[in-house]
């Protein structure tokens, strides 16, 4: 069984306990205005080109089947991410985001350093993109990793309910994003309704899989008393909730868009001060922190 991923980050420190190997899967059904991994949005491989370091040697254009239409030394319209220019570029400023791997290959790669990560109290985290889009591949990889590897999932919660139920059974820890409890705001800034997300979130609250609610705190979008209170009311009394984590938006979120030759148009005031309130969670008997 094959899956598609765009990165494996080593020694990640914010993706679950201990040090972790975080697998970033391709493809996401959301289009969050603040997304900092735009290469994870499309399920297809994509060429990324750094705007810095090009000497103008022209080798990329020479090898590209579409080179005649290449704009500058970026990528031509209709680029297939074939990768020919990646190997041709002496400056190594081109790369393809998106690798197809089998579950066996991925599990074997992750197992190479599994003992080291286990020694730190860590393990493997699946992130993205949205792992629910490749649920069968993820579940098969987990099966091959076996119960000795601690596994965590980072998810938007937007996905098939049966797949999400299978994930809650299979993962040791779930990091679940809550972007907005208001459906209109959610649609406006992510492109999708939050109804399915909240359904899966309620399942999580009823179950016994350890989980953390994560709020990407976006200025002027969800840094409100109303949002924090709604999250606290949803989470209150959930037996397996570990804590709520607030992740303040950072202006560097847009850094990778230029590499994909896309414009970063966040649609909110990126430099507006962020309102943080942890007291609301304390009043509901919930542990919380800012990452
Ligand atoms: S990845 Fe292939 S199609 Fe795209 S610019 Fe490079 S050589 Fe051309
Ligand atoms: S091969 Fe690399 S260095 Fe040469 S023109 Fe293309 S992008 Fe620039």
Burial label, 18 (beta-carbon count in 10 A; 0-12, 13-18, 19+): middle
* Tens digit of each residue's pLDDT (9 = 90 or more) over 215-255: 999 999 999 999 999 999 999 999 999 999 999 998 787 88
Q: Which atom of ligand 2 is nearest to the CA of 56?
A: 5
Compute φ and ψ for 62, nearest 5 degrees.
-65, -40
Question: How far, in Å, CA of 117 to CA of 150, rounded?
Answer: 9
What pLDDT shows up at residue 73? 78
Distance 55 CA to ligand 2 centre (A): 6
pLDDT tens-place string over residues 42-58: 999 999 999 888 999 99
How far apart CA 18 and CA 12 sit, in angstroms, is: 8
SS3 annotation, the chain: CEEEEEEEEEEECCCCCCCEEEEEECCCCCCCCCCCCHHHCCCCCEEEECCCCCCCCCHHHHHCCCHHHCCCCCCCCCCCCCCHHHHHCCCCCEEEECEEEEHHHHHHHHHCCHHHHHHCCCEEEEECCCHHHHHHHHHHHHHHHCCCCEEEEEECCCCCHHHHHHHHHHCCEEEEECCCCCHHHHHHHHCCCCHHHHHHHHHHHHCCCCEEEEEEECCCCCCCHHHHHHHHHHHCCCCCEEEEEEEECCHHHHCCHHHHCCCCCCCCCCCCCCCCCCHHHHHCCCCEEEC
Closest CA to 173 of 214, 140, 218, 116: 214
Average pLDDT (85-110) is 96
CA angle 234, 198, 124 (to 5 degrees): 95
Out of 1-10, 141-150, 168-177, 266-275, least confident range: 266-275
Picking from 48, 56, 35, the residue whose alpha carbon sits closest to that of residue 94 is 48
Domains along the sequence of the chain with CATH: 2-43+98-290 (3.20.20.70), 46-97 (3.30.70.20)
Q: How far is the CA of 93 from the centre of ligand 2 (A)?
A: 8
> In whole numbers, what is the pLDDT of the chain averaged over residues?
95
The answer to pTM > 0.85 is yes
What does the pLDDT read at residue 74? 85
C-alpha–C-alpha distance, residues 213 and 25, integer Å: 20
pLDDT tens-place string over residues 164-218:
999 999 999 999 999 999 999 999 999 999 999 999 999 999 999 999 999 999 9
Of the ligands numbered here, which is closest to the C-alpha atom of 80? 1
Measured between alpha carbons, how far is 291 from 283 in angstroms, rounded to an integer? 20
Q: Which of 54, 65, 73, 85 to mutate to test the pocket of ligand 1 (most atoms within 8 A of CB)?
A: 85
Give the ligand whose atoms come closest to the C-alpha of residue 52: 2
Instruction: Report pLDDT for 185.
Output: 96
CA distance 168 to 203: 9
Compute the distance from residue 245 Cα to the ligand 1 centre, in Å: 40
Q: Minimum-distance ligand to the CA of 92?
A: 2
CA of 175 from ligand 1 middle (Å) equals 36
**Per-residue pLDDT, 265:** 87
């Amino acid at each position: 069984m094959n899956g598609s991923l765009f990165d494996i980050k080593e020694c990640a420190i914010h993706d679950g306990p201990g040090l972790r190997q975080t697998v970033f899967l391709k493809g996401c059904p959301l289009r969050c205005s603040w997304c900092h991994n735009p290469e994870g949005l499309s399920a297809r491989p994509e060429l990324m080109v750094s705007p810095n370091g090009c000497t103008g040697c022209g080798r990329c254009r020479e090898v590209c089947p579409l080179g005649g239409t290449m704009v500058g030394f970026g990528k031509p319209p209709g680029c297939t991410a074939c990768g020919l220019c990646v190997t041709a570029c002496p400056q190594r400023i081109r790369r393809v985001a998106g690798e197809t791997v089998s579950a066996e290959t991925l599990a074997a790669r992750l197992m190479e350093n599994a003992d080291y990560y286990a020694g730190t109290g860590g393990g493997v985290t699946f992130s993205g993109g949205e792992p629910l889009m490749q649920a069968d591949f993820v579940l098969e990889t987990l099966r091959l990793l076996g119960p000795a590897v601690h596994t965590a999932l980072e998810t938007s919660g937007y996905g098939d309910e049966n797949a999400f139920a299978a994930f809650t059974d299979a993962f040791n820890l779930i990091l679940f994003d809550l972007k907005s409890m208001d459906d209109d705001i959610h649609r406006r800034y992510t492109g999708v309704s939050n109804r399915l997300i909240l359904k899966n979130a309620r399942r999580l609250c009823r179950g016994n899989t350890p989980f953390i609610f994560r709020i990407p705190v976006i200025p002027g979008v969800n840094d409100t008393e109303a949002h924090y209170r709604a999250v606290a009311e949803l989470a209150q009394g959930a037996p397996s909730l570990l804590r709520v984590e607030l992740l303040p938006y950072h202006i560097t979120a847009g850094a990778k868009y230029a590499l994909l030759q896309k414009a970063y148009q966040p649609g909110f005031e990126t430099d507006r001060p962020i309102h943080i309130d942890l007291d609301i969670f304390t009043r509901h008997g919930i542990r919380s922190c800012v990452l």
